Amino acid sequence: MSKFLIEETFSALKEKDEKAFIAYIMAGDGGLSELKNQILTLEASGVSIVELGIPFSDPVADGPSIQAAGQRALARGVTLEAVLEELARIKSEISIPVVIMTYANPVLRLGPDKFADLAHAAGVSGVILPDVPLEQEDEFGAPLAKYDIVNIRFVTLTSSGERIREVTGEAEGFVYAVTVNGTTGAREGFDETLYGHLEHITEVSNAPVCAGFGIGTREQAEAVGAACDGVIVGSRIVNLLHEGKAEEIKGIIPRKSAAGSQSSKNI
């Protein structure tokens, strides 16, 4: 797997006039032995891409639900290296792209080159590093690029027009558009200005744009997805898996008729 699997996924969705649904889960929540079943469950539910979080002691972008999941995984001794080794073991059974979401510190402790080698062996298609700004991207992105693994870039609500163009101009895989100011976690709703903001990012971006943070219901996913190429749902899915309610994940994914009624960005 590589960035090309992400590109193929978005191309296939575009042909069907559908939006991407990206599901975040915490690797090792429930034990690494559960990882294969969790990913295959998401795939069977209709998820387009899995964003696989790595437990970390200081997760600055994570809200309470994901922090708690990370603590449960850390208590089981789960590490970045162990997650990648488990992914390598099960990758032949996974058909959708897997993107790793971690922080700079675990990658630096492992070493960016070793991280890239292990990510390649694990079939990882992309990496999200929320605490690494564009200006420091090369230290992490260059080793990954050797294997065509993309470094997913962020755009926030406070990003200026110039910054948005800078971030999205040469973006690959997809652009992660943050929908709220703050950490992850379900919200009651979004400011009306969000939708125009997402439409603008989508218009200027070189890669598909997917919005995340605060999305926890099908209605929110449909509304936000209408303004971009897809949505990312994390806390709600983490909670459902922890509570043994995986069958409810299907209820968050936008209906095909609703997704298909929206125009897709040319990619």
Please list the active-site residues: 51, 62
Tokens 């193929």 correspond to 8
SS3 assignment, position 24? strand
Tokens 């449960």 correspond to 72
State the Cα–Cα distance between residues 89 and 82, nearest whole angstrom.
11
Partnered with residue 20 across adjacent β-strands are 230
Residues 6 or more apart whose Cβ sits within 8 Å of residue 216: 186, 187, 233, 235, 236, 252
State the Cα–Cα distance between residues 85 and 81, nearest whole angstrom.
6
Tokens 């970045």 correspond to 80
Instruction: Give Rg (Cα) of the chain.
Output: 17
Residues 6 or more apart whose Cβ sits within 8 Å of residue 9: 20, 48, 49, 96, 97
What count of Cα atoms within 13 Å lies in the side-chain half-sphere of residue 190? 30
State the Cα–Cα distance between residues 143 and 112, nearest whole angstrom.
7
Measured in whole angstroms, how far is the alpha carbon of residue 247 from the centre of its chain? 21
SS3 assignment, position 234? coil
Contact indicator for 266, 229 with CB cutoff of 8 Å: no
